[in-house]
Structure 1
Amino acid sequence: MQETIQSFTDYLQTEKKASKNTEVSYQRDLRKLAVFLKEHGIEKPEQMNATVLNSYLLYLEREHFSPATISRSIAAIHMFCQYACQEGKMVSDPSKALQPPRVERKMPEILSIAEVDLLLRQPKTDTPKGIRDKAMLEMLYATGIRVSELIHLKIQDVNLMMGYITCRDEKERIVPFGGPAKKALEQYLGSARAALMHGRDDDVLFVNCSGGPMSRQGFWKILKSYAKSAGITADITPHTLRHSFATHLLQNGADLKSVQEMMGHADISTTQMYLHLGVNKIRDVYRKAHPRK
């Protein structure tokens, strides 16, 4: 089974051009399935059947895996079985009847424009680290990119003169940025980055204090620290700035299609969620402030 999982992972990478995140998560889900199947005497794809797959889903539910995790596992199993059928390792697809659990979409946290402004003013730009942090926060809010895209940016992905970046983490796209982000980037590239690099040679844009690539966890800690110093009580994640970026654009008149392209959403229905976020935020402000609410 492990051999087929590995060849399937190679297929995702070379044929389907799946993102690294998808590749890693599908491989992890399928290896978890393989352990369960082995415990039930199944070690080859052709031995799988609908009964044992349903038993596996029941096992995930008993172990209190979230509906989102179970849904992703089902997606991985579906694609794996389709691949195994194509390769002649299965006669029929036993995963066809698997149904994902209903996932309640939790509305994401967004910050007000005033809260974002307060957050972005927290880094002290008298040290290379503070200059870097300021540039990262400004860039994240100015472009709405994912944190994985932010930390994977290369120097050559930034066009300072024209004011845009090229994101290549998922599907390649061009995203503009404004004056404050440009100013912060110029300051970072002008002096701070070289100081943080300690003589190392690398084309990654944002580096940690040792001169290596910034990690997701490292940036998450940086953001949490500045949110705390700003007195923001909301549970902020890097995605909070992405959500706030989209909501603020739509509140200020941006069209849905343009925001979809900047966010890199494949389906415009994902972007439409931010229209509802804006309405909910306005309603909350009204309820808190209006004397006859």
Structure 2
Amino acid sequence: MEIYIEKYVDYLKNIKKSSENTVASYQRDLVKFSDFYRENGTEDIRSINETNINTYVLYLEKNGKSMATVSRSIASIKSFFGFLFREKILMDDPSVNIKPPKIEKKMPDILTIEEVNRLLDQPGDQSPKEIRDRAMLELLYATGIRVSELVTLKITDVNLKMGYIECHDLRKSRIIPIEDSAQRALDNYISNVRVDMCKDSEYLFSNCKGTPMTRQGFWKIIKVYADKAGIDKDITPHMIRHSFASHLVNNGADLKAVQEMLGHADISTTQIYLNSRQSRLKEEYQKAHPRA
């Protein structure tokens, strides 16, 4: 089965142009699926049928895998077999009737506005590193971009005069405005320390060695400042993205505008933040209404 997984991964990378994270996730799921059948004596992919796939799904559930993990694995398997069928490697698709479990969408963990303010207040302006860190944190919360997008921004993607950045993903580019605080932090960074830190790099941010910042490197930076701010949540860069979106929606921002800034292909992905707003309004109603 490994050779077909390699063909499928090549398709994801070079034809579908999927993100690195998506490719890695699908590949990981399919390798586990392949290992399960190899250990059970099945080598020929043409011998796998709907019952076999259901057996694997049951195995995942019995081994305590979350519904989200099971659902993602099913999605990977269905996409894989759909590819093999379209390529005429298989004469039929054994996964076509496999249905993922229904997962109730939960509001992701977010920071309160007060926690965000404490986090953003942590970097000082006494060293180039602190100035860079403040600019990165301010920009992340001001725009809601993904950390992978943050660390691959180029200096040419920033237009401080007009107050926006141009963010690029695999599908398209999008323009995102920057609020005043982030503009000031970026201006301070670009004007005073970036040249020395980044040398001749085209990227907006670099680590202290002058090489491009990594997602893992920025995650560590957030952890340090979260500890200093006394935030005991398991904070991640993506939590700041969620906080950005939730705070905008809670304050009345148009859902389509938030979808566009986040780069969501489907507005249903963005609607989870609307659920948060409705829950907050219900809580306020329950507290304030005399007959509630």
**TM-score, normalized by length of structure 1?**
0.89
Q: Distance in 2 between matches of 1:231 and 1:224?
A: 11
* Match runs of 1:1-293 below 5 Å: 1-172=1-172, 173-197=174-198, 199=199, 201-281=200-280
Return the offset for 1:254: 1.8
| Structure 1 unpaired stretches of 5+ | none
Contact 1:171 / 1:264 at 8 angstroms: preserved in 2?
no
Residue 193 of structure 2 aligns to a residue in which SS?
helix
**SS of residue matched to 1:166:** strand
What is the Cα deviation at residue 284 of structure 1? 5.6
Quick one: distance in 2 between partners of 1:221 and 1:263? Answer: 23
Amino acid at match of 1:97: N
Deviation at 1:286, TM superposition (A): 8.0
Task: Quote the offset at 1:289 in angstroms.
Answer: 10
- Number of residue pairs the alignment of both structures matches: 291
CA distance, structure 2, for counterparts of residue 138 and residue 59 of structure 1? 45
SS at 1:6 equivalent: helix
**Structure 1 residues 287 and 132, CA, compared in 2 at 3 Å: closer, same or farther?**
farther
Q: 1:182 to 1:101 in 2, by over 3 A?
A: same
The one-letter code matched in structure 2 to 1:246 is: A
User: Is residue 148–residue 169 contact of structure 1 (8 Å, CA) maintained in 2?
Assistant: no
Measure, in 1, the Cα distance between the counterparts of 2:66 and 2:210: 37
Instruction: Tell me the amino acid that sits aligned with residue 227 of structure 1.
Output: A
Task: Give the letter aligned to residue 159 of structure 1.
Answer: N
How far is 1:77 from its partner?
Answer: 0.9
Q: TM (normalized to structure 2)?
A: 0.90
Q: CA separation of 1:129/1:284 partners in 2, compared to 1, >3 Å: closer, same or farther?
A: farther
Q: Percent identity?
A: 54
Kept in 2: contact 1:152–1:169 (CA 8 A): no
The 2-side partners of 1:151 and 1:259 are apart by 21
Deviation at 1:139, TM superposition (A): 0.4
Aligned partners of 2:106 and 2:272 also within 8 Å: no
For residues 277 and 234 of structure 2, the distance between their equivalents in structure 1, rounded to whole angstroms, comes to 18
Q: Distance in 1 between the 2:95 and 2:124 partners?
A: 54
Q: Cα offset for 1:235?
A: 3.3
What is the CA–CA distance in structure 2 between the aligned matches of 1:45 and 1:85, rounded to whole Å? 12
Aligned mates of 1:284, 1:220 — CA distance in 2: 33
Q: Work out the CA distance in 2 between the residues paired with 1:185 and 1:266.
A: 28
Please state whether the residue corresponding to 2:102 is helix, strand or coil. coil
String of CA shifts for 1:258-281, please: whole Å, max 9, x gaps.
111111112212222212223434
- Could you say what the CA RMSD is over the residues aligned between the two structures, in angstroms? 2.5
**Gapped runs of 5+ residues in structure 2?**
none
- The whole-number CA distance in structure 2 between the counterparts of 1:9 and 1:76 is 11
Structure 1 position 26, deviation (Å): 0.8
Q: Deviations over 1:84-139 (max 9, x none)?
A: 11222111111112221232323222333333222211101211111111011100
Q: Distance in 2 between matches of 1:286 and 1:232?
A: 29
